[in-house]
Amino acid sequence: MIQATGFLWGRINNHDPEHYCGDNRLCCICSIFGIAFQVTGQPPHQDAPLQFKIITFFYGLFFSVAAGYVVQLIATQTKLTLNYILTALMFLLAATSIVFSKGSSHWTQLFAMLIFAPASIIGGNFKLRRSKIGR
């Protein structure tokens, strides 16, 4: 699925395979987050023990910052515009999930909206600052 997503993205934007390779990295980072719930068997829309929430917080924070960093690796610009778009997309998808979820606990969506989405901007900013230092 990850390669298919990159392939379609590349076709839509008329990129050759070398350019849509980066999209696969971003899709991979986004899908890694769901693995935590599959491995542990914890339903994401139900309340979880505090320890699991803490682990999820740091796990999600790390991968959100990584996703923001990867967006800047893929981007050909030196602004955070794409990171803001990623943040808005993450926020909107989490908000949509709250509206349509059948579970009674929304801690995962709230983490995504209030912590993980803004953290992706931090990752992009880190990459841009690192690039400026390297010049």
What are the residue boundaries of the structural domains of the chain, listed by start?
2-134
Model confidence at 58, in pLDDT bands (50, 70, 90)?
A: very high
**Of 92, 96, 33, 95, the residue nearest 61 (C-alpha):** 33
Answer yes or no: is pLDDT of 14 > 50. Answer: no
pLDDT of residue 113: 94
Which whole-number Å values give the CA distances from 71 to 4, 47, 114, 120, in the listed order?
19, 31, 19, 9
Q: Mean pLDDT over residues 38-66, rounded? A: 87
Answer yes or no: is pLDDT of 97 > 80. Answer: yes
Better-scored residue on pLDDT, 30 or 113: 113
Angle at 30 between CA 24 and CA 31, to 5 degrees: 90
pTM of the full predicted structure?
Answer: 0.70
